[in-house]
Structures are given as structure tokens and as C-alpha cells.
Structure 1
Amino acid sequence: MRILHDWRAIPPDARGATVALGNFDGVHLGHHSVIRAAHAARPDLPLAALTFEPHPREVFRPDDPPFRLTLSAERADALAGLGVDILYELPFDREFSMMSAEDFVARVLHQGIGARHLTCGQDFAFGHRRGGDTGFLARRAEALGMGLTLVPPVTDGEGPLSSTRIRRVLQDGYPERATAELGRPWTIRGLVVHGDKRGRTIGFPTANVPLGRHLEPARGVYAVRARLADGTCHKGVANIGRRPTVSAEPESRLEVHVFDYDGDLYGQEITVALLSYIRAEVRFSGLDALKAQIATDAAEARRLLG
């Protein structure tokens, strides 16, 4: 998949696509339907997605806690997995946010990327102060010779599926429900950094990964699957939280014990999929109690993972 960032300098062979529009945080099943609709409308054209980086909310509300389901690289991989040929990942900043809805359609979509057909959700809004809605988009797209497909939300018994809803189930400790709504397990991707190495002293060495801009899910212990930099996948057990037994740090982190692995992961990028929630984070009376609980957690993770 080609990833392009400057809408003013799109190569000729990356123009003329059928383009799905959205933030695509999570690339969940609702987003899948928007991508499929773009391809179905014009299967003769390259399939593209247009999104923004960073997420507009990160620009307008920088002091909010991290909330992203997928960062840039994860989102790109998920879109590529859906068959997207071209990703227009446009830089979003205060200046770009001042662009009117008219200019976004005429200058970015029509002149800049040369879109032939557009798809988006029925609640898609764009332009300065979200001044453009799908009614405006429909009128301007028709005038400029671009097709448009509006895609209804994917719903179930709980209502429309959304990134907000998936964030909530992760924060409530239900990764299996997130898996069902994403169409794949939710993952945290990051570089392994040096920790205090206490895990090695109690027989459970861990790979420490800062959460960074990822959403913090429910604190506690999870059964996980880790994909290492060499592409291999391994079962494991992980803790997300502040480690109250051994640390007073205010910042949560992800610590992963990879089963039956003794290699050096420092400095490598790993991707950790949360598969099952085992228990909440608690404070133990000391290292012996913590070690015994970790052994119990590891056995439970092995059972859950088969």
C-alpha cells in the first residue's frame, strides 16, 4: 500500500481512485463497511482511504488522556489488510482545520487527489468547525463530477458500532467484545524499553512497553499474543497498570511475559494483542505473594490460550 501525505503533490498514478473518508480509529467493522462500499461502487478504480494524522481530537484537546485505538502504523496495516491500495494520510494541524468545507471538497478531494468516487458514514462532518455534512458533500460532489455513497452504520442489539463504544468495552475489561467489534484482537504496538528488571529476579522476565498515545484499557492481567519484530507470534501473559506492589510511578505501562522465550527484546518493536481479561490489578503484601499470583496468572493465561 502506498502512503501519501501531501495532497498538493499527488503523483498522477495515485489520482483517480475510489476513496473512503474518515478518521478510521480502530478500523472496526463499521469502517470495513465503508471500505467495502468504496470498492463495490467502482471496482474498476484503485481503492483508497483518506484520513488524518494526528487525530483532530489530539489537536483540539491536547490535554485529554490518550484515547487512540490505533496509531498511524497500526491503522495503515489494518487498512492494507482490507485491500486499500493508497492511503492519503493528511497532516492535521490548526491551519488545516481552518479550511472551509468547500475548499476541502474542491481543493483536496477534487483537485488534489482527483477522487472519482467517495464513500463515508452518514455522520461524516468536515471543514472548519465541521461546517460540511453529507448533504453538502453530496451536492458538491455531484457538481464536480464525483460519485458518492453514504454508508449506514453497522448496528447490533446495543446500537451503532463506533470507536467510542469499543474504547468503553476495553476500559471496562472486555477485550473479547472489542475483538468482535473490531473484527480482530485489539493490539498495543511499541518499542520494548528497559525496566527495573525485577521480573527476572522472580522468574518471570517481562518486556516493558510504554502505552504512549494508546488508550489505557482496564488495568490488570491479560492473556495475550505477542508478535515480535521477526514476525513470529508467541502466547503470553501481560499486566497493564501502575504495579502498586513494587512501584509508586503514576504512569501505567504494559509488561509482557512471553511464554517459552528467552531472547533479548530490548529496542525491538512488538505488537501485543489483548485476548482475555484475567483479573484486576491489586497490591500484594510482598514479592513472594506477587510471584505466587503471577504463576497462577500465567497458568490461567495458558489455559485460556489453549
Structure 2
Amino acid sequence: MRARLHQNWQDIPVEARGCAAALGNFDGVHLGHAHLVHTLHTTRPDLPLAVVTFDPHPRELFRPQDPPFRLTLSDERFAALAALGVKHVFQIRFDEAFSLMPAERFVEDVLYESLGLRHVACGPDFAFGHRRGGSVPFLAERTAELGVGFTAVPALADSGGPYSSSRIRRLLQDGYPERAAEELGRPWFIRGEVQHGDKRGRLLGFPTANIPLGRHLEPARGVYAVTVRLPDGNTRPGVANIGRRPTIDDGQESRVEVNLFDYEGDLYGQTLSVALHRMLRAEKRFNGLDELKAQIAQDAQAARTVLDAELAGS
């Protein structure tokens, strides 16, 4: 059975009721999230495995002035959850009206009545309801009263502490995508539609696909060794610059400019997934386009070396 996405919690089909569901935002779907999902499945292997999550992320509603911070957008999150064996993803629209729902109503009206869950699980920091009025002890008590099973799952941790989305964000912002990948269980990627740029990369001999960061977190600005997943499913190696192009200084917002090695074709309008493997250098300003062109050639060779070594070690 393929995973199914349900976006209207008030209209759930009969066949999607009766699940065991993990609760949370699941931004990044990292190893800690996988631990929560797998623990729930081990606890109730007799029930279909589900997740209850939210979109947009509550922080996007309450703090719209914050810079974009998402590790995964809803489509990416759904795919990652499906890869964990989740059969139903109940993605609740988190708008102002929903944010005012008391914790009691969330448990009774949403989890129990509308979704018909038979078992729920969450991590130790899960909070819900208006002004985060619902706690893990409250959830345990209220589900018991309703005859719904409950499991509180301890956070998965290593020597640095619990795995968390915020910890992974810091690693990416500090320029360590390879360490972020270890905690995600896969490389972190930016997914977006290729847009028309100013064609400067082509003039420099390194044509690039330009992808806006959108709601994705902006990692450390600089040059990265990357792999790019094309719409046909093929993956190509490349080198990418993430930042504002200080040498050209066009005043644009930060973006991803990726050069696919040994590739010819029109990518405009297509959706690519750019996975970051290693940061090669920080963003810097060069003394003119000739110096920039020479550096780009060095960056491309460095990226090939990094990716070849990864492939040899896999």
C-alpha cells in the first residue's frame, strides 16, 4: 500500500481511520523522528502506521518576520515519511483558527473523533493546543480516558545530546552538510523550480540552473559539492554556489546556482533536488570576472574530487 496524504482532518475516509499515529512537526524527518516512528510501529504492529503533522510550521504562522528555516517542505516531508513505512500522513493546516483550538479539543475532536486513532505516540517535548496548553502528561491522561493507547518515546540522543531539527539547522548554517546528513540519515537537499537568471554563468563557461531558496533554510553561504536529482530520476554530480554573488553584486536575494557536470539540456521550469555533500569554501568577493572564472574552475575540480571520493567509499 502506497502512503496517502490527508489534508482535511474533518473529512477522513473510513479506511484511513484506526491508525497508530506519531505526533509532531517532523521538519527534516531526521533520525530522531525515525526512532519515534519505528518505536510506535514496534509497539503497535497490528495497526496501520500514521503521522499527524502540521503545515505551515507553527513558527511560520506566529513569527512570519523570521528568515525561512524549513529543512523540508510538505512534499519532501511526505516522501521521507513514506520511506519510513508510514501509510497515512494527516497534514493539518495550521492557520489562525486552528491555533486557537484548546488542547482538550485537539485530543477529543481531532485525534479521537475525526481521525479515529487507536494509539498515539510523541516525543518528550511535544506540546499542542492554544498557547501550547497541552503537555505530554495531559495527552497521556486524556487518551487513557478515551480508550486510546499512548506511548511517550524518549528522544534519541548521541554524545552531543538529543537529535533535533534545530541542531541540524545549526550544522547547515555553520557549513557542515556532511554532519547534517549523518543526523538526517541522508544528504540535505534544496528542491525548487529552475528559473531564468542573467546568463552570466554561461558567459563564464559554467552555465548554471538557478533555484530560489524559497521557504528553505539558508545554509552557510559559499560553494558546495552537490548531486542533483533530475525530474526523470537520474542523479548528476555538480558544484553549487549559495549566496548573493558579491563579485557581481546584483542585489538579488540569496539563491542556489548549480552547474551540472557534463550535462547539456534545457532545465528551465523543471523541478530539481540539489543535495549538499560538502562545503568547499565560503562566499567571497573577487577582483573581477577573470579571477572569478579561474576560481570557479578550481571549485568544479574540488567538487569532482570530493564526489569521486564519496562514490569510491560507498
TM score, norm. by length of structure 1: 0.99
Task: Provide, for residues 99-142 of structure 1, a one-character-per-residue CA deviation record: whole Å limited to 9, x for no partner.
Answer: 01000000000001000110110110000000000000000111
- State the shift of 1:247 in Å: 2.5
CA distance in 1 between counterparts of 2:23 and 2:10 reads 18
TM-superposition CA deviations, 1:125-166 (whole Å, max 9, x none): 000000000000000111111111111111111111110110
Residue 40 of structure 1: how far off its partner (Å): 1.0
Deviation digits for residues 264-295 of structure 1 (CA, Å, limit 9, x no counterpart)? 10000000000001000001111110110000
* SS of residue matched to 1:278: strand
Q: How many matched pairs?
A: 306
- 3-state secondary structure, aligned to 1:218: coil
- Pick aligned residue for 1:143 from 124, 145, 156: 145
Q: Does 1:18 align with 2:23?
A: no
Partner of 1:76: 78
**Shift of residue 250 of structure 1?**
4.5
- The answer for the alignment partner of 1:111 in structure 2 is 113
Q: CA RMSD in A?
A: 0.7
CA-to-aligned-CA distance 1:70-124 (integer Å, 9 cap, x gap): 0111111100110110000010011101101000000000001000110110110
2: distance between equivalents of 1:157 and 1:294? 38
Return the alpha-carbon distance in structure 2 between the equivalents of residues 52 and 85 of structure 1. Answer: 17
Between the aligned partners of 2:303 and 2:220, the Cα distance in structure 1 is 17
Give the alignment of 1:28-43 within 5 angstroms. Answer: 28-43=30-45
> Superposed, which structure 2 residues align to 1:268-279 within 5 Å?
268-279=270-281
- The residue type paired with residue 277 of structure 1 is M
Of 162, 165, 169, 1:163 maps to: 165
Equivalent position SS for 2:66: coil
Q: Which amino acid aligns with 1:200?
A: R
Equivalents in 2 of 1:271, 1:19: separation in Å? 29
Corresponding residue for residue 244 of structure 2 = 242
Instruction: Give the distance between the partners of 1:23 and 1:249, measured in 2 at CA.
Output: 34
1:184 to 183, 186, 198: 186
What is the distance in 2 between the residues matched to 1:237 and 1:250? 20
Q: Structure 1: which amino acid aligns with 2:116?
A: G
SS, match of residue 266 in structure 2: coil
Structure 2 equivalent of residue 175 of structure 1: 177
CA distance in 2, matches of 1:148, 1:46: 15
Q: Deviations over 1:6-48 (max 9, x none)?
A: 1111000000001010000000111001111121111111110
Partner of 1:218: 220
- Residue identity opposite 2:41 in structure 1: H
CA distance in 1, matches of 2:193, 2:250: 23
The residue identity in structure 1 corresponding to 2:183 is E
**Consecutive unaligned residues in structure 1, runs of 5 or more:** none
SS at match of 1:178: helix
**Percent identity for Structure 1 against Structure 2:** 64
**What amino acid sits opposite 1:51 in the alignment?**
T
The aligned counterpart of 2:312 is none
Q: Distance in 1 between matches of 2:151 and 2:227?
A: 37
Q: Secondary structure at the match of 1:270?
A: strand
Structure 2, unaligned runs of 5 or more? 309-314
What SS is found at the alignment partner of 1:37?
A: helix
Amino acid at match of 2:108: A
**Which residue type is aligned with residue 286 of structure 2?**
F
